[in-house]
Each structure stands twice: as C-alpha cells, then as structure tokens.
Chains A and B, each alone.
Chain A
C-alpha cells in the first residue's frame, strides 16, 4: 500500500506523535507538571480508541509497517503498559519536577515506537524500531541522573545494548546476503526449498553454502533479540539496570520491551524460518529452561525487592519463551496469554513496590517487615500479585501457567514440563520470602502508609485485571485467538 493510503490506518500513531509535540511545548508553560501526566494518560486512551477497526490487506508504507491482529494485540500491551506507567510515575516523587515533562514525553515516544516494533516485518524496520526503543530505554533508565545507581545502570545498558545491536545487525546482514531480501516472509519462501534461491544470489555469494549462512544469521538475530528480552545467556545486564532505573521505568522495562521483543522474535521465527522449526524449537526449549532456572535460582538470594523482581522477570521470560519452544497454535496462544497475565501481575507488583518505596524510602526486603500491620490493604494486594506470579489459582498468572504447561505437554516436551513444575516450586519460595516479611515479621515502626490517587488507580486496575482474567479466562483466550487469526502457523 502506498504512503497516502496508509495514512488512514495510522491515525492513532499520528495522533500520538502530535501529542508528543504538544506535551513538549506545553512543558515550557505549565508549572504543574502532573497535568501533563494526566494529559499523556488521556491521549494514550484516545489513541487506543482511534485505532482502525479493520485491517488493510497488505502492509502499510510499501510493506514497511504491518497492521494485523497480532500487531494490534501487542499495541494494546504497549499502550496499557505506558498508560499505567504514566499513572504510577505521577506518584513517584524521585523524578525531578523540572524534568517530569520530558519524562512523560519519553514515555509517550516509547508508546509510539513500541507500536511500530509490533508491526515490523522486515529486517530494516526490526532493527530501526528495536534500536530506537533501546535508545529511549537508556534515557529513561538514567533519568535520575544524580543518582549513581541510575547513571551506572544507564551506562551498562548502553554498552550491552550496543553490542547486542551489532550482533543483531551482523545476523541480518548474513540473512540479507544469503537471501537477497529483507522481507521476513520472503526469506521464509526462499527457504522453503534451497533450489529456489535465485541464481543471481547464488553467484553473488560465490555459490557458498547459503544454508549455513542462513542458520548463522538466524542465530545472531536470535541472540540480538534475546538481549532485549533478557534471555539467558544474554541476561547479565538486566538485574543492574532494573535495580538502578527509577522504579516506574523498571516496571515498564520488565514488561513492554520484553513483550514486544517476544513479538518480534515470534514474527522472525514463524515468518522467516518455518523450515528450520526443529532446529530453533530445540534451541528454544533449552534456552527457555536455562532462563527460567537461572532467573529463579539467583532470585532466591536477593534481599532487594527490585532485584528480586528483576530476576523473577528473567524467569518469567523463560516461561514466555516456553511457548515459542513448542511451536504451534497452542504454543503461540500460550505465549500471548502468558504475556497478558504477566503484564497485569508484574506491573501490579512493581506499582505496589512504588507505593511502598514512596513511604519507606527503601527497597530492602527488611523494610517490608510487618507491612501487613502498617498497611493491610497494600500488603494483601502485593501478596495477591506475588501469588499470581507464582501461578496460584484463581489468578491471572495461573491461566498463563496452565497454557504454558499445556503447550509443553501437548508437544510431549517432558523436560520443559518438568522444568516448569520444579521452577514453580522454587519461585514460590522467594515470592513467599516477601510475604513472610510482610506478614510474619513484626514491624519496627507502626506508622501507616499513605498513597495518592494515581498510584491507587494504577494498582486497582491491575488487581481488577488479575482477578478478571483468573476468573473469566475466556476473555483473554478469545482475544488471543482473534489476534492469531492471520498469523502463519504451520
């Protein structure tokens, strides 16, 4: 589809881009920055409802931006995360008032970029969107620039990110060299039979073994994307970055970029390499097992709640990848459902941590001692989120876990099923360490905790969602089935 016709379909993106500039300009005039925050939340909501209700037959902008149900699902994920992160950061005083406007602008930009990331179906767009999302993430991570941890995290993130981008780009160049195209689906077509690789490409590569090149390209590409979703063994950056970043940013980073990274990964694997499915499914199985195991085992010894949740989010990435490790309709459904449940639960947990951090000025587990006395509601809510992360029914996380289990069992992947079972028990241990501090340990001080409205709203929304999906799973299942309608599942 040409550029002019495409404009109609991206009206929500255009609107969001316009809002970004408006907020940027208003930032000069408005002293009460929280109005900018509310404006941003509102515009995310409006942008969501501006999304077209039907999908075009072909990719927009000459196939550079694909609008399909799959992309829409992840767009919803991105908008939801950003909107709620905005709400939560309204109550986060550690972000300097002066720069709050810029902070909101960066988050809105992030929403826009993530949307494009979910619709990227060629190598160039994948690289550009991932890169720009990463750049914005670096900025957000280092936003508390006078905080040593925050700056250190940002620097680490930049260095790791730069390497991973280079790796990814190298993989892409191999793929392009071997296939002569940057379109994912065309790479897939070409791979269907190696004989069909055009003669001119073969001569360009000097008749080299294109199969080997494609395999290498795939591996490098997977490694590059793997960095972004904190997949073991490319997870080293994650704990430091998640700990150092301002907490609302951490909440956001553990969910949205990860979810979108998985979206890109799914598109790459299913569009471009359907013929190598046995190779990457095998690889994914063990990567998934390693990711969940390492994340969970290291999380046990953490005494800082942000770090604990950081490692937990690495483990959760492992569960999400388990869906890709068992390719098929159920596996993909499991991935998407798990992402949705994880979004609600993990954001909820982090928002509760923000609400507590505001009052206690600490993220140490010890500071949580006796929280059930100081603020029973907050303690109860955090417990519910942690239970959901641990996969206890009837909460959202349980539905996700059921699906992951199901796809592993249906694919007869016994190691995966056993590993999920054992990991769930391990994970419960450290989640309950937090619960233990809140309920079983006596409080040092008794003064109650108070919180402003925006954070309460954000937590309340997540809590509602966690129960809603747990008790009426049909809602999310139907949405996921719809969003996979046009997805090429072999």
Chain B
C-alpha cells in the first residue's frame, strides 16, 4: 500500500518516491524508538499527573498512579502566585526582542547580500564572530553597562542584550534566504525606477518572509527561554519573567511540588499554541535554520 506523500506547503523538494513491496519490519529500530518513547513520555506523564494531584497526595500516591482525586487547585495556586504577571512580562520581552531583531537584522541582511564593495563581507564576518560566543561570558560587563544606563531591574535590561546575542544567527539566516531572490527581479525593480528603499520594501521584505518568520521565532525562543539575563539584571517581583519565576519557585525553602509542576506545565502552553498555529516556522526557529 502506498500512502500519499504528505503535502508540505512551500517546499520545493522533489517528490519523494518510496514505492516498493511491503518491507520487513525493522524490529530493532522499533524497539529503540519505543524505549526512547518511554524515556521522554514517562517524565512528561509524571509531570502532568503530579500537577493535578492534591498536594497531600504527592508523597503518598505512587508517581505513576493517576490521582484518586484530580484537582486544578495547583494551577489556580500558580496563577494566584503571580504567574500571569510573569507571563505578561515574558510576553513583553519576547515580542520586543523579536521586533527589535527583525527591524535591525533585515536591513543588515539586505546590505550584506546586495551591497557592492568589500565592506559587506566584513559586516557579515563581524556578526559571525559572535556566533559561538555564549551570552554567559559577557554577563558581567552587560550588568555594568545596564547599570550605567540606569536600566537595572527593568524589562529593557533583559530585552537589549538578548536581542544583541540573537543577531548573529538571525543575520546568517536572513542572508541565506535573501540570496535566493533572483537578479531578474532586482532588474525589474530598477526598470520601474525603484531606489534601494522601495526595492527593500516591495521586493526584499515580501520575498524573505519565510526567513523573517524564522528569525522572529528564533529570537522569541531565545527571549522565552532565557534565565541568565533576567536572573542578573532584574530583581523585583513585578519585573519577573516566567523562567525566573520558576527558578525562584524551586528555590523556596518549602517547595510545594505539585504547585511548582503545575507552573512548569503552564509555562509550556504558549509554545504549544505556537506549535499548533505555526509549526513550520517554530521548527525552523528552533533549529536556527533558514526558511526556504
């Protein structure tokens, strides 16, 4: 039996042909995959089950048994603990980082790909130097700069360095996707008398949309996942983002484990929604690869 090839919108891949007679099932690979399924699935299951277990039941009931008396109290508790403030702060940081990165990186990509002259390659190398520099390495001077700018304990303190450290990968992705725009299209724009601003807005931006989506997603994920910058650059509770909220939660003297696990589960919901509505760009963003 042959299954129809899954439709993959927007890919210019050659159609895959896997015809052929029914194959011998690969038991070894199947077993391995099942084993990994357990390694991944069990902790997630334990997490979800524990998050709906009444607090008293966490120690007495086995971790795998479904709760005798499931409850949403832990989720309510997480929300009461200010989780929604953390979500709102994270949303501000995430959107701002994504916007900043797109606004800064897209023109850089255009310049690198289209400019005449040696400097364009130099600009690219300048950004690439930062490709493997971990943000951890510069957190002390970043702390100094942010304090000198008077931004300590504000969301801007998280946004600015996070965006800066997302730039190298984003410039790389954008130059990759912009190189695919054909010379003919540029010439057609030139015949219309378009200067570089109109060429950029009418041709480069629309045709690099997949790349821009990838870059925005990648930058968002960096902002979403970051713990170090919030940990060092913010202090007060009303500037707290989700990752820092979780970190503070687990550091408390008497940890309410089901409550904490409910907060962990809640923290995955926005990414899950993103996965459902924009799977392709999420996957590209995770990998930091160009949208083509």
Pair from one complex: no
Q: B residues near A, CB below 8 A?
A: none
Q: A residues near B, CB below 8 A?
A: none
